[in-house]
Amino acid sequence: MNPDEATLGVCPDCGSEIRPVHAIIEYEKPDGQTGVFAECPECTDVVESESE
């Protein structure tokens, strides 16, 4: 997969794909997984992306 095609997940508000270029901050969740806050390219809200 081309890194330009990778997605972090989808916007929980509008369902648009969120790509790494939209990431604002990454953090470690209590369960050890990585969480990401990103700006949705469609609705422009800052959201925590959700896995597809």
The domain total for the chain is 1
Within 10 A of 29 (CB to CB), how many other CB atoms are there?
9
Query: Which pTM does this prediction carry?
Result: 0.74
pLDDT in tens, 11-50: 999 999 999 999 999 999 999 988 889 999 999 999 997 7
- In 3D space, the residue among 1, 26, 42 whose CA is nearest the CA of residue 10 turns out to be 42
CA-to-CA distance for 52 and 18, rounded, in angstroms?
A: 10
Structural domain of 10? 3-48
Transcribe the chain into DSSP letters: --GGG---EE-TTT--EE-GGGEEEEEE-TTSPEEEEEE-TTT--EEE-B--
